[in-house]
A and B are shown apart, each in its own frame.
Chain A
Amino acid sequence: MRAFVRRVIQISGFELSTCLEAANGQEALDLLQREWVDAILTDINVPEVDGEEFLHRLALHELLDSVPVIVISADATQNRISRVLSLGARGYVTKPFLPEVLRAELEAALGVPCA
């Protein structure tokens, strides 16, 4: 999925300089201790630390709580979307999605003007 998302971002025309990857929530938290990022894309259904727990831990972090997070998930139920947004996610993209949808969410989260 990570390879696909990277490809979709490229297809959408969004300018991406560096893209860091983590296989699960814990790996992502470890990575974020060493690297600064402008935005985070995560699924909910990931091993070890899932997407909701990941959001919860980010919210408790002094610096990382300001990094916009966009959740990408196959779960389109309103309960889930509301819960994830209440945990601090800046955007929610349901799979399957079109490249322009992800781009629009990224632009909105980063505060850059839409092309």
Chain B
Amino acid sequence: MPDISLHTALQESEDEVLEKMFFIRSFGEPQDSAREPEFVAHLTFEGDPPGWLALCVTAPAARSVSADFLGEEKVDLSEQQIGEVVCELANMICGSVLSRVENNSGFRRATPRLLPPGQPSERGFPVRGGSSSAATHSAGVGNGRLMVIFNTETPAWSAAEKHAF
């Protein structure tokens, strides 16, 4: 059942980061899933297990979270500022998830980078090996949505599961 726990970790991490650092609450799975994400941040991590995280955010959601994070008006934000905030959001969610699933073994994250627009499935995110484990979580933010994809090269286990095992 590692995927269920990974999904829970992903959801809890995303909610906690948005509430504490962006002062906003996400709402459940958005109805409109056809809209393409305009900002996609991607970062890899090394540890046990290694893998990558991608954060896909629609333009309205990206502008909304950036305004909350920086305390600026939405209209005053540049594309660069929004991109940097989306990367930082990806970095924090990734660190939060890894702290939940990697126990105390430690991990190292690469610097997040923005990818060109397009659907995640078209990006060919690398999945090495045949025993990878992935979880996705989508949430509505403002009048947009964001989606997190968390992929590990080997199944990820939460700290509680590791102890139980």
Q: Which residues of A contact B (CB under 8 A)?
A: 1, 3-4, 7, 45, 47, 73-80, 94-98
Instruction: Give the distance in Å from the alpha carbon of A78 to the alpha carbon of B104 in the complex.
Output: 5
Instruction: Give the distance in Å from the alpha carbon of A32 to the alpha carbon of B14 in the complex.
Output: 35
**Residues of chain B with a CB closer than 8 A to A1's CB:** 88
Instruction: Give the distance in Å from the alpha carbon of A3 to the alpha carbon of B70 in the complex.
Output: 6
**Residues of chain A with a CB closer than 8 A to B20's CB:** 96-98
In the complex formed, the residue of A with least CB distance to B110 is A45
Q: Check A76 against B96 for contact (C-beta < 8 Å).
A: yes
**Residues of chain B with a CB closer than 8 A to A97's CB:** 20-21
- Count of chain B residues with Cβ under 8 Å from any Cβ of A? 24
**Residues of chain A with a CB closer than 8 A to B111's CB:** 45, 47
- Cβ distance B94 to chain A, nearest Cβ, rounded Å: 7
Q: Check B71 against A7 for contact (C-beta < 8 Å).
A: yes
Identify which of residues 30-74 in chain B touch chain A, using a CB-to-CB cut-off of 8 Å: 69-71
**Residues of chain A with a CB closer than 8 A to B69's CB:** 4
| Set B17, B70, B105: member contacting A96, Cβ < 8 A | B17
**Residues of chain A with a CB closer than 8 A to B103's CB:** 77
**Residues of chain B with a CB closer than 8 A to A45's CB:** 91, 95, 109, 111
Q: Check B105 against A94 for contact (C-beta < 8 Å).
A: no
Instruction: Give the distance in Å from the alpha carbon of A79 to the alpha carbon of B111 in the complex.
Output: 21
Instruction: Give the distance in Å from the alpha carbon of A7 to the alpha carbon of B99 in the complex.
Output: 26
**Residues of chain A with a CB closer than 8 A to B105's CB:** 77, 79
Q: Which residues of B contact A (CB under 8 A)?
A: 16-17, 19-21, 69-71, 88, 91-92, 94-96, 98-99, 102-107, 109, 111
Q: Check A74 against B99 for contact (C-beta < 8 Å).
A: yes
Q: Check A76 against B99 for contact (C-beta < 8 Å).
A: yes
**Residues of chain B with a CB closer than 8 A to A80's CB:** 106
**Residues of chain A with a CB closer than 8 A to B88's CB:** 1, 4
- Cβ distance A84 to chain B, nearest Cβ, rounded Å: 11
Instruction: Give the distance in Å from the alpha carbon of A95 to the alpha carbon of B18 in the complex.
Output: 11
| Set A4, A47, A75, A98: member contacting B99, Cβ < 8 A | A75
- Cβ distance B42 to chain A, nearest Cβ, rounded Å: 15
Instruction: Give the distance in Å from the alpha carbon of A73 to the alpha carbon of B20 in the complex.
Output: 14
13 contacts between A and B (CB under 8 A): A1-B88, A4-B21, A45-B111, A75-B106, A75-B109, A76-B95, A77-B98, A77-B104, A79-B105, A80-B106, A95-B17, A96-B20, A96-B21
